[in-house]
Amino acid sequence: GPSPSSSSSTSSLRTCRDIRYPINLHNERRAMEILLEIASRALSKYPTSLARDRADLRDEVAYPKYSNVRNAKLQVRGEKEVLHHFALWARTAVHVIDVLLRELESERRLAAGDGHSSSLNRGGANARGANQNEELGYDYVIQAMEDDDDCHSTILRYCSDVLGAVRRDELNRIASSAMGSSA
């Protein structure tokens, strides 16, 4: 495929291998909503729940070791575990994106009001936003995910690395815009 240094007419042609960064937060949010819909729809087509499958597999009389019926149940359980993982990833990402969108909008308003943005764009620890009653900010959410032993590493890495990169870029854009308008 075209390299990143290709002419501007071909630089928009990307392959899946080239995609490491969301187009924008609204597009990424919609993609995660679609992923959640797909996973939920697929899960709804199974006649039993993941919990039921796990309970069934504890019954070695009805599902004897090495039997076809047990192996089939194991296969289906694995499929459901993957679908549940992607549904959790999507739900978590939508939540984090919503936190980011609120935080960025607050930064835009702040920058438009006085021409300066807060410490967020400089890696500051403003985790709560301007008002203590507001929902906790991105830094707090990511820290909570890091502290949660049950948070899967792929979900954490996506939210901290991929969405964090979008956040940094947007905060830099806001700060640059504020500096340009105050000059």
**pTM attached to this predicted model:** 0.78
pLDDT digits (tens, 9 = 90+) for 50-70: 999 999 999 999 999 999 999
Reported as a single tens digit per residue, the pLDDT across 139-150 is: 999 999 999 999
Closest of 162, 164, 158, 176 to residue 138, by C-alpha: 164
CB of 120 closer than 8 Å to CB of 175: no
DSSP code of residue 46: S
SS3 19: coil
